Structure 1
Amino acid sequence: MLSTGLVAIDATILAAAVPAVVRDLGGLSQFPWLFSVYVLAQAVSIPVYGKLADLVGRKPMLLAGIALFLTGSLLCGLAWSMGALVAFRAVQGLGAGAIQPIGMTIIGDIYSVAERATVQGYVASVWAVSSLVGPTLGGVFADYLSWRWIFLVNLPLGALAAWMLARRFAESPRSASGPARFDVLGSVLLLTGTVALLVALLEGGVLWPWGSVATAALVAGAVVLLGAFVAVERRAAEPVLPLWVFSQRAVSGAMAASLVVGVLLLGLTSYVPLYAQAVLGTGAVVAGFTLAGMTVGWPIAAASAGRLYLRVGFRRTMLLGAGVAVLGGAGLLLVRPDGPVLLLAAPCFVLGLGFGLVASPSVVAAQSSVPWARRGVATGATIFARSLGSAVGVAAFGAVANTVVRARLGHAPSDLESLPADVLGPALDTVWVVAAAISLALFLSALVMPREVHEVAREP
């Protein structure tokens, strides 16, 4: 949980320090890539680490991920230019891509379904607390010490996590019929195809128009590369992302749920604070606490989800969570420009409750339905789906907001933050409508999950 907390904090700690970084290093036009490149590197590496954890073992791959994350942190702390900082953030992201999925896989290995009912609540709490602490800690470092400590503080904490893992976690050696055969070609095709797709989604409408040659080329390249990836995986002896994850209903149901949660989670994270500040007129702190309702609701629900799925099953728990999320989405439709900020915070809290009742049980169901040798892939595929959903959510909600603004202004906006409230408000009201509609898809993802998920016996 310590290593997971490091990654969770690092995802948010830099946001409050961006002005200080730009003052020191320059490169204002490049700073959005400090976030995008981290997300890209983390997302595309998750399936590879999941497969390697099954082939090589959890412990060595998690230690390698921590080492890579700490190397990236040290280099970020010593960065001499914005370009160097962006490159070193990619190294950090590659390390983070191992830590989250393998950490969750280890939980699936050492705890039974009943025990994970409690442990998943602890892990969700780590993410929630980290999401709240991260921006505050980043602001303190930037204002009173140096923004470089945002990265350097990871070194002692990460070293402690690695030491605890090396000393305390004993992984039994697994018998194998021969040497591990890693799917290099499939990995390369998956990585390059996913990068092309994510760059198109994250930067389309930002660095270039959606209808531009750049967008078309990236999407076409992604289609070709991912199509070749599917063909390679059909013949590979040890596919990096085996196609059985799409036919095994517990895993595919978890992936579908994670995809939808990712769309809503990062999409709303991008626009709730903007609405609170630019339309409702709150300060940055209040806007942050408005969004925090979602990160508080998630662990509350995740902690109780275990008791629910032990009594009524994974599918019914997820259906309940979908219903709660739909109520939260409907609550967004009541938000008004002249209303109190509580009308925005309350639906975020309810959505967080719904996400906790959907996401946590779905991961446990996917892990429980497969043996040890497939658990890394199953967990990695589920988290990979959430990462893809996050990119889709940012792109989709951004396209909706920009389309409405363009219709009202008669031209494309340079940025949303500088728009007057009477223009931005209707655009984000439309985003809330889209979010409410997408929340209905959680019902469909829950229906993919089988009525009963039988736990595969754990290996000694």
Structure 2
Amino acid sequence: MSQPASPAAPLSATDIRVIVLGAVISLFLAALDQSIVATALPAIAGQLGQVELMSWVVTAYLLTATCATPVLGKASDLLGRRPVLVGCLLVFLAGSALCALATSMQTLILARALQGLGGGGLITLAQATVADVVAPRERGRYVGYFASIWAAAGLLGPTLGGALTQYLGWPWIFWINLPFGLLALTVTDRALRRLPPQPRGRKRIDFISVLLLLTSTSGLLLVLSLGGHRWGWTSLPLLGLLAAASTAGVLFLRRQSRVDEPILPPQFFRDAVVGPVGTALFLIFGGFLALAVLVPAWLQITLGMSAAAAGLVLIPLSLGAPVTATWTGHHLKATGRYRRPPLIGVPLAMCALLGLAFLALRGAASPWQIAALLLVAGLGIGPLFSASLTAAQNAVAPRDIGAVTGALTFARALGGAVWVAVASALVLGLALAWLPDLGALGGLEELVRRPLSDHERSTLGQAFALIFSLDALLLLCGTLCWARVAERPLRAQGEHYEAPV
């Protein structure tokens, strides 16, 4: 029989600041490695060869990171935040070192997959760890800070990656992770030991559920990555992979209702807060990422902008979201209510998308007009970042904080993967239907590189206009889901930490 844990001294304000600092560094590392590699890919392919495998350097990281988030979130509930967070940091650093030392493209891809396992855990654990030491009513502010860190990493990554590659060589985009990772490890480990432990009982991770979830998720992500490029959408290999992923997904969901410690507890789907929040995130965040992918392609394909200029126009989208995410955090602290900000913000983003659709249909727009609409879109999406995580964490018992954080992170990542793939496929499908002379297209990147006539650019502008309008419809569906979220007062007092450390 387990013995009660000895009481631990309450955390001081300094302890909390140290823990939050470590969480911020951990999140920054994971976010940075999703974008820092992009500008280094030509140099990597030039040295290691096998250019046809180049995209997998990015895909491998995103695939394993997505799969890891719900599993490691639940593991941290059962095993404790500190050992899982430390383990994720060590795996991430080991993966980074192996990436820097890679001598072939295959080795680099495998190392990136290992790095993604650690990175996916860091994203979830950073947010769950802050929830352990900050009362629900205060958490929205910190989620706003996390949104700022995520935006900064997204903006800094390509620039830093290009500079390190040019002046020091591409391995340094991975070596740079080591000092920051060791810093995060140092500043958090001692403070996390002071969290009061839970009475230890027999708790086991259900590895069959883990295997089924990994099979289902990785299968689906591979379908989305390979569909329309390596294999046709109706090809037998792709349909077979989709069938295997769907079967594993069904078996996983059935098993969750039968095991003692489910990775995605069925009560999450039935809860009046967690269920609608997860669905809204899947739709709205998916639409947000689809916008971030489609706008640069639209600017280059139909308006003739360079890749660098398109990237600059996209910056307001990344800057707007942290502003309103931080404001929403302060609103949550002052009022204890979370439903209203996204109900105001997301419709503004919908209007911005319709404005972009009008400009795409017209076929002429200034960079300032586009940047202004993207700023409005970012400002509109921002409140969802703070409100969604705070509402869901407030709705569950402390013992499920890691699981619900992992579930929401998983919903965001999966929504982004699905809707980016769907939007890209729709653009290419419309291009093929309306401009059959273009022939087969391997992806938006190929369309960007092709010389196009004015008629072709105008026609493709109509395709983008339709997709932007459909994206606005996707945000509308997400808003309707958010409107179903129950309003529960945010607790203003700190909670007893229930996970072992």
Report the TM-score range of the alignment, normalised by the length of the smaller protein.
over 0.9
Q: Distance in 2 between matches of 1:110 and 1:382?
A: 19
Provide the rounded CA distance (Å) in 2 between the counterparts of 1:425 and 1:324.
Answer: 23
Q: Does 1:444 align with 2:480?
A: yes
Structure 1 runs not aligned, ≥5 long: none
User: Structure 1 residues 86 and 110 mapped into 2: Cα distance closer, same or farther (>3 Å)?
Assistant: same
Hey, what does 1:72 align to over in structure 2?
95
- Greater shift, 416-425 or 201-210, is seen at 416-425
Q: Report Cα offsets for 1:316-358 as digits up to 9, x if no partner.
A: 1221122222122222222243211223222221121122111
Q: Which residue of 2 aligns with 1:376?
A: 402
2:205 corresponding residue in structure 1: 182
Q: Does structure 1 residue 398 correspond to structure 2 residue 424?
A: yes
* Matched residue, 1:322: 346
Aligned-pair CA distance for 1:422: 4.1
Aligned residues with identical type, % of pairs: 35
Q: How big is each residue's C-alpha offset from its partner over 1:354-379, in whole Å with a ceiling of 9 and x where there is no partner?
A: 22111221101101111210111111
> Which of 417, 421, 441 pairs up with 1:413?
441
Q: What's the counterpart of residue 370 of structure 2?
A: 344
Deviates more, 1:81-90 or 1:316-325: 316-325
Equivalent runs, 1:66-145 vs 2, <5 Å: 66-145=89-168
Q: Secondary structure at the match of 1:235?
A: coil
Provide the aligned C-alpha RMSD in A: 1.7
Moved more, 102-111 or 263-272: 263-272
Q: State the distance in 2 between where 1:448 and 1:86 align.
A: 42
- The answer as to 2:187 corresponding to 1:164 is yes
Shift of 1:221: 0.9
Give the superposition deviation at 1:171: 4.4
Report deviation, 1:229: 0.9
2:357 and 2:466 in contact (8 A); partners too: no
Q: State the 1:416 CA deviation.
A: 2.1
1:49 aligns with 2:48: no
- For the Cα contact (< 8 Å) 2:353–2:373, is it kept in 1? yes
Are residues 1:15 and 2:38 paired? Answer: yes
Return the match for 2:307 from 284, 299, 314: 284
Q: Which entry has the higher C-alpha Rg, 1 or 2?
A: 2
- 2:200 and 2:128 map into 1 onto residues whose CA distance is 23
* Cα offsets for 1:402-454 (capped at 9, x unmatched): 11111123233243222323454333223212212212122112122103345
Distance in structure 1 (CA, Å) of the matches to 2:139 and 2:336: 16
Counterparts in 2 of 1:280 and 1:234: CA distance versus 1, 3 Å? same
Matches within 5 A, 1:231-242: 231-242=254-265
Q: 2:470 aligns with which of 416, 427, 434?
A: 434
The CA deviation string for residues 209-253 of structure 1, in whole angstroms up to 9 with x for no partner, is 111112211221112111111221111111121111101122112
Taking a change above 3 Å as real, the CA distance of residues 168 and 86 of structure 1, as seen in their structure-2 partners, is same
Rounded to whole Å, the distance in 2 between the matches of 1:234 and 1:18 is 44
* 1:129-278 alignment, distance < 5 Å: 129-176=152-199, 178-278=201-301
Return the TM-score normalized by structure 1.
0.96
Runs of 4+ in 1 over 4 A off after TM superposition: none
